Structure 1
């Protein structure tokens, strides 16, 4: 059996609804070539991107009356993977292709790439900020050429901000603040609290946006929460110093949740859905757009680091990386992933 690097019997973010309009969307997820399109009820459905006639990519075709039409010979595919018709051909005995469970929720389209008999919609993570008028969200998508676990490492250890993001969210005090890592149920939590410092540029802008002074000392926090298969929510913010920090009143702080959905594309690439949910001035669209632009620039700085790191590790498979206390969050997250994969494979083998 081939080595499995990621979970399959779980929910990943496949795309956002705006990516699937009139044309079909091709996207590889967990090494599976997929095509997404809207059926007659305007629901987004996912099929394997394979025409059963001659193996053409269905994503190169078009959608008509809620059916996916192959752009090679006009075969029409229904949303359950069954061939509906083909010009001048009888299709009763055409083989079906695989259909994958998809759910549109919280502004994302989720897919279950594994055993379809195990699909459980209740396992989609609950995103309370996505359904509250007290919160605003803006985000984007990057395709990055790296192992998905490298992005997990990156987000569970924010020490790199001092160096990779020196002009935006980094500051030397991050290095000096202790890091605490623990398990809360099935969740890995890494926390860092910094007191009595001046805010870096990104957070000075956030303070001003929330009508707060930006030239005074602040308390800053970073709390990274990892959940299987590869979702990370990071509570971040700054508050005017000596007002409770993380627990300060809303009118004395600027806080938000950095949203990170990491979806494996292949063993060597990912779809990275990033964004920020905030609970101050939620109806200010101009502010949402400004934060999205700033956050996008910050994450672009990570992209080159991760891609080059991935190449280095591939070139040096026998060299071991070091594990320091700042790496504890990523190490614990990897252990969770490895354990879950072994359990999934064991269950799969029993079913054979």
Structure 2
């Protein structure tokens, strides 16, 4: 890791792949986005490759995201300095650019429908370190999702997703029910992930899951066994296995014909110390050809996550105003606490390598 990167040490790992954008967000028009404290610009060259550079023109510091793509170069919209796909100066009207400094180049990968960026040491970036998403490459799954910009520390979102007790209160009209409070939570941690689990047997399905049961051609008013299995992995991904099965049919392990199950996809990408990009969605294995159901689920998720957004931003305001207040740690917080510990250890390893 270079000294500049080490000097910007904050509250997130840098030697990791983060989701920077959905693939359809990045075209020939430059996209400016701040990721892990770095202002970046993303664009597609004429050949179709996605490029990520620091959003800072070496000439006068203008944002390169205000420029335009010309062939295999990004042209600054201020004075016309053109940079190639590695950030090296290529041409500029009336100037010899051979000795101009380069703009920083960030490793990128386009896969699974997303653009991934590596903000840390480029020498450590490799495709085999990318988080595997087998559902994203299988015709047996359908996916729909969206993006929110949320004004809170990204770790508050991880806390939120690793403890779903709040559903009873924040999402009372969609996925919340009193049985969530009553069901015990288990937490397990390995070197690769933290998993919290909750199972609720013989309960009524809440409104969102009634809609999912209808989509799976199952009776929406039948009693169900419900589950939530939240999986955190570095640097800041949470995959939540959720679903309902007709009661007595095996719950989580029920035959696919007897359940509506899916994976809630959560990529939480830090922007600043008090803001992040939240890429959310749902991957499902039932009625995968039903695009109208995909849209309906997306709309339902958007409403649910909008409720989280309001709570988390207000929580951040309180924490910023009272930074010295100590918070309680209860048994339901174990998943978030263990996830934060995994993040802290990753940061410590990077700091040790830098030193």
TM-score w.r.t. structure 1 length? 0.98
Deviation at 1:2, TM superposition (A): 5.9
Tell me how far apart the structure 2 counterparts of residues 344 and 299 of structure 1 sit (CA, whole Å). Answer: 32
Q: CA deviation at 1:3?
A: 5.1
In 1, Cα distance between equivalents of 2:322 and 2:69 = 46
| Pairing of 1:55-204 with structure 2 (within 5 A) | 55-204=61-210
Aligned to 1:307: 313
Aligned to 1:263: 269
Per-residue deviation at 1:22? Answer: 2.6
Give me the whole-angstrom Cα distance separating, in 2, the residues matched to 1:52 and 1:196.
63
- Aligned residue for 2:306, secondary structure, equals helix
Q: CA offsets, 1:188-238, max 9 Å, x none?
A: 000000001000000000001111001111000000000011000000000
Cα separation, 2, equivalents of 1:322 and 1:41? 53
Total equivalences in the alignment = 349
Residue of structure 2 aligned with 1:290, choices 273, 276, 296: 296
2:238 equivalent to 1:232: yes
Find the residue that maps to 2:217 and give its secondary structure. Answer: coil
Q: In 2, distance between residues paired with 1:2 and 1:124? A: 23
Matched position secondary structure for 1:146: coil
TM-score scaled to structure 2, two decimals?
A: 0.97
Query: In the alignment, which of 6, 10, 14 is matched to residue 4 of structure 1?
Result: 10
Provide Cα deviations, 1:295-337, integer angstroms capped at 9, x if missing partner. Answer: 0110000001001111111111111110001000000001111
Q: Which residue of 1 is the match for residue 3 of structure 2?
A: none
The residue aligned with 2:29 is 23
Counterpart contact for 1:157–1:330, Cα < 8 Å? yes
* Superposition pairs of residues 334-349 of structure 1, within 5 angstroms: 334-349=340-355
Residue 248 of structure 1 corresponds to 254
Distance in 2 (alpha carbons) for counterparts of 1:3 and 1:70: 29
Q: Distance in 2 between the 1:183 and 1:12 partners?
A: 22
- 8 Å contact 1:34–1:49 — kept in the other structure? yes
Among 314, 317, 325, which residue is 2:323 paired with?
Answer: 317
Whole-angstrom distance in 1 between the partners of 2:287 and 2:293:
8
1:281 aligns with 2:313: no
SS at match of 1:114: coil
State whether residues 28 and 45 of structure 2, in contact with CA within 8 Å, keep that contact through their aligned partners in structure 1. Answer: no
Structure 2 CA distance for aligned equivalents of residues 102 and 153 of structure 1: 28
State the 1:185 CA deviation: 4.0
Q: Which runs of 4+ in 1 moved over 3 A?
A: none
Instruction: Deviation per CA, 1:45-65: give whole Å up to 9, x if none.
Output: 100001111111110011111
* Structure 1: gaps of 5 or more residues: none
The structural deviation recorded for 1:339 is 1.1
Q: Find the aligned partners of 2:32 and 2:324 in 1 and give their Cα distance.
A: 35
Distance 1:66 1:300 in 2: 39
Unaligned runs of 5+ in 2: 1-6
